[in-house]
Amino acid sequence: MKKILITGGTTFVSKYAASYFCEHGYEVFVLNRNTKKQVSGVTLIEGDRHNLGGKLKNLHFDVVADITAYNAQDIIDLTDLLGSFDQYIMVSSSAVYPEDGTQPFIEECERKPNKFWGKYGTDKIEAENALLQKVHDAYILRPPYLYGAMNNVYREAFVFDCARLDRPFYLPGDGSMKLHFFHVKDLCRIIEKIIETKPAEHILNVGNEQPVSIKDWVTLCYKCLSKTPVFVEVSKKIEQRNYFCFYDYEYLLDVKKQKPLLSKTIALEEGLKEAADWYFANEQEVRKKDYLKYIDEKLQENL
């Protein structure tokens, strides 16, 4: 039984990963401050990654899955405090690529600040750099928008709410802007394949092969509730982040290098249905934003 250390373990991606690897026969350790309910079956290492003392020094892990590293100091402090390990896999982000770069982004593209992601993106660049200095053979994964069960970010859940309330959907422009997604389970499957096969490629874009337009994505979300959206087009002059859950930023990753590890990804329709079922059973776990309030109080009067 392989021992895997997962940083986090109580929110979205890290929580899903903890559950996934427990179900797939791993001995799962999670590192968090124990402020939320833990996944059943894990062994908790309680503490802050920046101040662990000697809690990790006498432990060996087959795999470290670092899902909550957001900046260089996160990497430096954890790697300094770890005992021994065989593999280190970091979940980074496609936010490391600049918005004006040549698309689709390949792994060799220059990493630069992205005006939409700001400090989040530049911090991820610095975290990647720090990791490769500390662990030369580490693996780095760069996903686009992640979705699926346990998602506490108000994205697909926002559209599910609109569908549940039989509201028209206020669409940025004509809805043709593309979004790129990846199911959190597919991310876990990639991590497991890396553990099993130790591929030669150490930096990987991961994601669905094709993006989807906003309009088609919203339609699929409504379909999860057996409903069809009525669209209201909103001028691009109105800031879309006030009433919609994504930036006005279209990008595409080249994910060819993931093919040997994951030949087929979860269909978006299937993944969204799972996300909807989870959301309606766990609504209290999602951090909701005031999109509906803005639509009702400000947007409608400006149309």
The pLDDT, as a whole number, for residue 13 is 98
User: What type of residue sits at position 107?
Assistant: E
- Per-residue pLDDT reduced to its tens digit, 57-84: 999 999 999 999 999 999 999 999 999 9
Give 133-150 as a DSSP string: HH-TT-EEEE-SEEESTT
pLDDT tens by residue, 185-225: 999 999 999 999 999 999 999 999 999 999 999 999 999 99
Q: How many residues does the chain have?
A: 303
- Helix (H) / strand (E) containing 189: helix 184-197
> Model confidence over 89-120: pLDDT tens digits?
999 999 999 999 999 999 999 999 999 999 99
Task: Give me the percent of the chain exceeding a pLDDT of 90.
Answer: 98
Tell me what pLDDT residue 155 has. 98
Closest by CA to 201, choosing from 122, 142, 265, 266, is 142
CA angle 284, 287, 293 (to 5 degrees): 105
The one-character DSSP state at 283 is G
Task: Round to whole Å and give the CA distance between 221 and 239.
Answer: 22
Cβ-contact 221, 272 below 8 angstroms: yes
In sequence order, what are the residues at sequence separation of 6 or more whose Cβ sits closer than 8 angstroms to the Cβ of residue 286? Answer: 151, 152, 153, 154, 157, 279
Tell me the pTM. Answer: 0.97
